[in-house]
Amino acid sequence: MTDIIQLLPDHVANQIAAGEVVQRPASVVKELLENAIDAEATEIKLIIKNAGKTLVQVIDNGKGMSVTDARLSFERHATSKIKSAEDLFQLNTKGFRGEALASIAAIAHVSLKTKRSSDELGTSIEIEGSTVKSQDVSVTPTGTSVAVKNLFFNIPARRNFLKSDTVELRHITDEFHRVALAHPNIGFAFYHNGSELFNLPNENYRQRVVHIFGAKTNEKLVPVEEETEVLKISGFVGKPEYSKKTRSEQFFFVNNRFIKSPYLNHSISAAFEGLLKDGYHASYFLNLTVDPKTIDINIHPTKTEIKFDDEHTLYAILRSAVKHSLGQFNIAPILDFEHQSSLNTPYKYKDKTVTAPIIDVNRGFNPFSDNTDVGNKINRTSFTKAPTASWESLYVGLESKGNASDTEFSEVTFESDTKTESIFEDASIETTKTTFQLQQKYIVSTLKSGMLIIDQNRAHQRVLYENFLKHITIKEATSQQLLFPLQLHFTPNEIHIIDGLKSDLEHTGFVFSELSEDGITITGLPVGVPESEVSIILEQLISDVENDVPDANFSSTDLLAKSMAKSLAIKNGQSLNNTEQEHLVNSLFACKEPNVSPTNRPTFITMAVNDIEKKFV
């Protein structure tokens, strides 16, 4: 019987390793940007085509590589970052596994050009699927340029799992933000399909946050500074009134490395306890500096998860630091009374001696006396009353009125109550209800065969969805003009998404007067959309577009209609009167697809009389 265990070929092993390191184009962006930072580059340029599916190129002005280093960089477990196992606990660089370039080269066409400052000529290498096609001497500037083309060209199944360009670009942008925020001392440029998305100069941390997330972000930031023997914290948290329904502005950096830590995130939530509305999340951009020996980075292939030696201490310090900053800058509510500056002691009284107050009282003063005393210090003329008639004159004529005959009251007329007609016909004589609301969530109605139970939120979503879809399709939506224009501020990436949906939004009833890099100005809204809900609607829409939720969209029009219906639908817990309940039921069964919500969930269920009777057996 032959042996059945065999060693895998190198190209197959590389492809398997690539599955751990390279999951999508954003993974390539992360690895290449980190390599450029480790090369001590001061200027890094990222070039993307078709959301990274066609091209991902990173150009830096770092140290460059020699001919031998350039060739060895594509071998598995070849790295300049560590030499022994002990080095894993003293890491000050980004990459250290030695698998990034080898994994990328196994599933793409890679072109590398590099040169050191001490060399006259550089090196150019072309690799396709782990196979070196060429290696030549080339004329290239100091630094390194890595171009990754046709990602997953030899693994069609992996390529089919990639999302739309919008989603993949969002993942690439997220990785770019994470790297750029961790290194404000490095200049970054980001180009997609020939257009410049970001151009970030060398700057301080606050400027870097503002340049990435928009100028309006500057007024949202609250600085956080704390230094202990265990942990050093620096960065910013967002003010509670600027919280978002998404977690797109939450960044933890440990030793200049982006990490995900639900445990530390909970410490921030605890610090904001009582300041945020339900469903909203605080923004934070925090840098944590700890001893490299107290953390273990080598627990996840993407190095986004870190294991701490003492998480409980970090939790307590982080929570206290954020809470202290919120209180220090008068963000957190405090028990205090209104203070009037007029009660303060003037500064010029600082050296003045204290004297007892003197009170001068005229003990002979009588405000009810008619005579005036010239000798008094107080002018009594103001207290002198004008002579009036005797009090008996007030009752003159009352005796004759009291003798009036009682017949005078028969002429008194009373104003009759105005009878107000009801808005709805026959509402005043309605004695029975056809619908009932259960737990402020379900609408219960009767049928000939039994009972109907409707989910009010899903039912209203279906009604709104078909209305919005109809308006967008026929392009004849009704708009209500605003008395004062509504100005909203978003990040440059969010503005780009709204710009792509602008025409569809206008067909639903939105009227845009301005769309700039800093924000948008809205002068008209769809009928029935309250002004207070506009920012929530657009934030939800942006989130749905970025995450491609749901994935089974027929078009951007369908996604827009679903997102707006989800934002504006009646929420569970909202009380409805009988008329509103009946209107919702009638509107639901007037829809083309009343059985399911826009997300294909049932809107109602029925219970037959037989089923109810079985419950009593």
- Answer whether residue 432 shows pLDDT above 60: no
- Residue 380 resides in a domain: no
- Name the band, by pLDDT with cuts 50, 70 and 90, for residue 259: confident
Order of strands across the sheet that contains 442-446: 435-438, 442-446, 450-455, 604-608
- Answer whether residue 370 shows pLDDT above 50: yes
What letter would DSSP give residue 308?
A: E
Token pair 């309250």 in the structure block, residue: 530
- Residue 382 resides in a domain: no
End residue of a domain, out of 328, 349, 372: 328
- Residue 205 resides in a domain: no
Omega within 30 of 0 (cis) for the link into 550? yes
- Residue 241's CATH number: 3.30.230.10
267 and 287 in a single domain? The answer is yes
- Residue 512 resides in a domain: yes
195 and 245 in a single domain? The answer is no
Which uninterrupted H or E stretch holds 580? helix 578-588
561 and 488 in a single domain? The answer is yes
99 and 234 in a single domain? The answer is no
End residue of a domain, out of 313, 328, 343: 328
- Residue 62 resides in a domain: yes
Domain count, the chain: 3
End residue of a domain, out of 307, 328, 349: 328
Instruction: Look up the domain containing 291 and give its range.
Output: 210-328
Rounded Cα–Cα distance for residues 214 and 198 (Å): 11
- Residue 345 resides in a domain: no
What's the whole-number mean pLDDT along residues 514-540? 80
- Name the band, by pLDDT with cuts 50, 70 and 90, for residue 45: very high
47 and 183 in a single domain? The answer is yes
Least confident of 289-298, 340-349, 401-410: 401-410
- Residue 66's CATH number: 3.30.565.10
182 and 228 in a single domain? The answer is no
Per-residue buried b or exposed e for 278-300, using 16+ beta carbons within 10 Å of the residue's own CB: eeebbbbbbbbebebeebebbee
What's the whole-number mean pLDDT along residues 117-145? 90
24 burial level (CB within 10 Å; 0-12, 13-18, 19+): buried
What's the whole-number mean pLDDT along residues 310-338? 78
230 and 159 in a single domain? The answer is no
C-alpha closest to that of 331 among 320, 322, 340? 322
130 and 279 in a single domain? The answer is no
CA distances for 130 relative to 106, 108, 148, angstroms = 4, 8, 13
Q: What is the pLDDT of residue 43?
A: 94
- Residue 421 resides in a domain: no
CA distances for 183 relative to 205, 208, 299, 307, angstroms = 8, 9, 23, 22
* 459: Cβ contacts below 8 Å, ≥ 6 apart: 443, 584, 585, 588, 594, 597, 603, 604
Between residues 280 and 12, the one the model is more confident about: 280
585 and 464 in a single domain? The answer is yes
Which sign does the torsion angle of CA 126, 128, 129, 135 carry?
A: negative
Q: What is the pLDDT of residue 424?
A: 44
564 and 494 in a single domain? The answer is yes
Q: What is the pLDDT of residue 429?
A: 35
- Answer whether residue 584 shows pLDDT above 70: yes
What's the whole-number mean pLDDT along residues 394-398? 65
184 and 214 in a single domain? The answer is no
Rounded Cα–Cα distance for residues 510 and 498 (Å): 12
Rounded Cα–Cα distance for residues 50 and 577 (Å): 52
Which sign does the torsion angle of CA 148, 153, 158, 163 carry?
A: positive
Radius of gyration of the chain (CA): 37
Q: What are phi and psi of 598, to 5 degrees?
A: -60, -25
- Residue 526's CATH number: 3.30.1370.100
Between residues 259 and 402, the one the model is more confident about: 259
Distance from the Cα of residue 129 to its chain's centroid? 40
CB 244 within 8 A of CB 237: no
Runs of H (alpha helix) within 237-291:
262-271
- Residue 431 resides in a domain: no
Least confident of 237-251, 285-299, 428-442: 428-442
Which uninterrupted H or E stretch holds 46? strand 43-49
In the chain, the percentage of residues whose pLDDT exceeds 90 is: 17
172 and 54 in a single domain? The answer is yes
